Amino acid sequence: MLQHSGIGVAITGSGSAAPLTSLDNQGLSQVVDTSDEWIASRTGIRQRHLADPAVYLRQLAAEAGQRALDMAGISALDVDLIVLATSTPDDLFGTASLVQAELGAMKAVAFDLTAACSGFVFGMVTASQFIRTGAYKTVLLLGADILSRWVDWSDRRTCVLFGDGAGAVVMQARSESDRLLGFELRSDGNQNSCLTLAYQPEAKALTSELSVGQGSFHPITMNGQEVYRFAIKRVPEVIEKALFKANLSVEQVDWLLLHQANQRILDAVAQRLTVPPDKVLSNMAKYGNTSAASIPIALDEAVRDGRIKPGDVVATAGFGAGLTWGAAIFQWGN
């Protein structure tokens, strides 16, 4: 177990939200040359939820956050810190403060954290540091993304993958126990080009001698084969390192909860770790890849339907753009 000041972390509530509108593979085949069989056999995805233009990230995040607060039995005014993991903010200056206002969590400080599909795991580790140092007692951690804003809907290699949604957990200080048992985080900017949502500058002349770059962001581009190879190699390694720090074996893990990127990746990672299929949580058939939201959405569903029970050990891992990847081992509940 990780050494710290004596203050532990408990994960006491979860929540999730998704846009009401969904698009199944058959409907997507009317947008781009593809089919349900092609998408499902390669990814495991059957449908995805898509936000209409009137839906904002802050609304989805606040809805998920309120459900997590309700499960934890606390009010928004009890929250000391809000961490929003997202790559698709409503405002590039930050959206966490908008979520704070939406919830009425006026005693909380709020900031965004960007680590793409690893964002929720990075956020969990970040939030735990504030709790363990005694700075804050109650943290609302959110993972939310509206990737449909940035998908090239003519690119069938990428547009079939992504969906929109939000998930949340409440993390609280505990003096008698620590439920965050171990973690490992990694980054490799040399592989950044494998998955990007990059700024595309256009020169704008201000004077005869001076130009600045203005423009927008290029839609998501991905080298799927490279991302697959990266994930099936690096994710098992990082989970094993986190388990070592937690002084646990793979056999002691009740649930494997990976970022919901592709069913083939989940299957390959589980196989390499010798985790049986019935311990692997997957909901990507309904949601697709929701980036930072995928882990907390799947967690919330498994908690609410009774699969994840208090005391269960969950090994979770995020991986994606950056490239970034990381794992956290935690026990659910107080």
Task: Verify whether residue 117 is a known catalytic residue.
Answer: yes
Q: Is 159 a catalytic residue?
A: no
Report strand pairing: 109-113 vs 81-85.
parallel
Q: Side-chain half-sphere of 101: how many Cα atoms within 13 Å?
A: 6
Options 117, 159, 194, 283, the catalytic residue: 117
Residue tagged active-site, from 25, 262, 283, 289:
289
Q: How far apart are the first and last CA of the chain?
A: 17
Whether 247 sits among the annotated catalytic residues: the reply is no
Q: What is the C-alpha to C-alpha distance for residues 99 and 84, in angstroms, rounded to an integer? A: 9
Instruction: HSE, CB side, 13 Å, CA atoms: give it for residue 219.
Output: 13
* N residues, the chain: 334
Please name every residue paired with 17 in a beta bridge, in sequence order, or none if there are none.
166
Six-digit token pair at 325?
């990847």
Start-end of H helices in 92-167: 96-103, 119-132
Report the amino acid identity of residue 208: S
Kind and range of the H or E element at 144? strand 138-146
Catalytic residue among 49, 159, 194, 259: 259
CB 134 within 8 Å of CB 5: yes
In order of 2, 188, 247, 290, the CA distances from 45 in angstroms are 37, 28, 35, 12
Residue 224's CB is within 10 A of a number of other CB atoms, namely 16
From 318, 311, 286, 300, select the one nearest 65 (Cα to Cα): 300
CA–CA separation, 232 vs 235, rounded Å? Answer: 6
**Which residues participate in catalysis according to the annotation?**
117, 259, 289
